[in-house]
Amino acid sequence: MHNIYEQIDANKRRSFWVITLFIAFVPPFGYFFPYLYNYDWTFLVFALLISGIGSFVSYYNSDSIALSLAGAKQVTHKTYPSYFNIVENLARVARIPTPKTYLIPSPALNAFATGRDPKHASIAVTEGLLTKLTRTELEGVIAHELSHIRNYDTRLMTIVAILVGSIAMVLNWSWRLSWHRGGGDRDNNSGGNAIIMVIGVIFIILAPIIAQLIQLAISRRREFYADASSAHLTRQPSGLINALKKIAANENIPLETANTATAHLYIDDPVTTETHGTWLAKLFSTHPPISDRIKALEGVA
C-alpha cells in the first residue's frame, strides 16, 4: 500500500495519462469514420468541439451536477451539528479544507464525495446513514469520503467519467449520421479497403467498452485505497468495518435519485445490489464486493 503522498502523486499522473490517451484516441477515430462513411472532417471537428465544450463545463461543475442529480441539500453546523463537526474535525486531521456538507433525503445508507480538488469539494450523506450509524461508524464513512478528496480520486474519476462520456457521445453521433446517410460509398472491393474497414469497425465498437472497463477498474481500486486511508485517519478500522456491514445489510433500501452515471461516486453501488456473481459481472461493477473490502480492512485492524 502506497503512502498518502505517493497516492496523490500517482493520481495526478494518472489524470495526465488518461487525458493523453484520450487525445491519442482522436487521430485513429478521425481517420476511420470519414474513411468508412466518406464524409469530410467537418463533422469530426464539430463533434469534438461540442464534446470539448461539454467536457470543460462538466469538469468545472461536476460537483454541482452530481449533487443536483442526487437531490442533495446543503446543511450547516446549525442544522446538523454532529455531522458537520465530524467532517470538520476529520478534514483538519486530513489537512484539507473543510468540504461543503450535503444531505440526501433518503432512508438508504450511502454517501459520496465530489469536486475537482480539495478546495472545491463536497460530501453528501443520506438521512438513513445519519440515523442508523453510530458516531464511530459515521466517522469511518466520512473519513473514507475525505480520503477520496485528499487523494484526488474525485478529480481523477471526474476526468475519466467525462472522457468516457465524450467518447460515447461522439461515437453515438457518428453512428446516427452514418445511418441517416445510408453508409459510405467507398469502393470496398479491394482487399486493403476491406481490411481497413474491419479494423475501423472493431475499433469503433471496442473503444467505448474498453474505456468503460478502464473507468470501472480505476473506481474499484480507489475504493480499497480510500478504505485504508479511512482506517489511517480515524485509527479505528472497526468503525468503517461495522459501517460497511450495516450498509450491506440495508442494500435492499433503494436510493431513488441514484443512477448508473453517478453510481461510481458512492461508497456502495446504489444501483446494483451486491452479488457474488461471475468474474464478468465483477468486471463490469463499479465497486469491489463489500465482503472483500471488509476482509482487507480486517487485515489492517
Per the CB < 8 A criterion, the answer to whether 286 and 269 are in contact is yes
Residues 288, 122, 87, 106: what is their CA dihedral angle, to the nearest 10 degrees? -70
CA–CA dist 193, 195 (Å, integer):
5
What's the rounded Cα separation, in Å, for the pair 262 and 282? 18
Give buried/exposed letters for 121-134 (b at 16+ CB in 10 A, else e).
bbbbbbebbbebbe
Whether 137 is a known active-site residue: answer no
H or E element at residue 53: helix 42-60
Long-range contacts of range 26-31, CB-CB < 8 Å, 24 or more positions apart? Answer: 28/203, 29/170, 29/203, 29/204, 29/207
Residue 36 CA to residue 265 CA, distance in Å, equals 37
Side-chain-side CA neighbours of 229 within 13 Å: the count stands at 29
Among the listed residues 137, 139, 145, 223, the single catalytic one is: 145
- At residue 290, the 3 state secondary structure works out as helix
Write out the catalytic residue numbers: 145
